[in-house]
């Protein structure tokens, strides 16, 4: 069984081409969600916050994984 992925804000969901994790809503969403729901939000800041959270989890030990090269809609 594959290890469970940790998804940071705006990470692309594995096995999909157009579904992302929204950390504001804790939901899996399509691209248009970010325009329709969060036009005025700072997504880069939210991504940084979730990556900090991930670093803490990793340091404490977790069964989940997040590749350093995880595809993310903010990184292109």
Q: Which residues bind Zn ion (CB under 5 A)?
A: 22, 24-25, 37
Note whether 46 and 24 are within 8 A (CB).
Answer: yes
Residue given tokens 């999909």 in the structure block: 16
Of the pair 43, 62, the CB lying nearest Zn ion is at 43
Q: What is the largest CA-CA distance in the chain?
A: 39
Residue given tokens 């991930």 in the structure block: 54
Least Å distance, CB 65 to Zn ion, is 23
Of the pair 24, 54, the CB lying nearest Zn ion is at 24
Least Å distance, CB 42 to Zn ion, is 13
Residue 21's H or E segment, with its range, is strand 19-22
Least Å distance, CB 39 to Zn ion, is 11
Of the pair 42, 58, the CB lying nearest Zn ion is at 42
């Amino acid at each position: 069984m594959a290890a469970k992925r940790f998804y940071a804000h705006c990470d692309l969901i594995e096995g999909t081409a157009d579904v992302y994790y929204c950390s504001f809503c804790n939901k899996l969403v399509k691209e248009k969600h970010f325009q329709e729901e969060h036009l005025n939000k700072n997504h880069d800041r939210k991504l940084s916050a979730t990556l900090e959270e991930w670093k803490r989890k990793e340091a404490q030990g977790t069964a989940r994984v997040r590749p350093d090269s995880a595809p993310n809609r903010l990184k292109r």
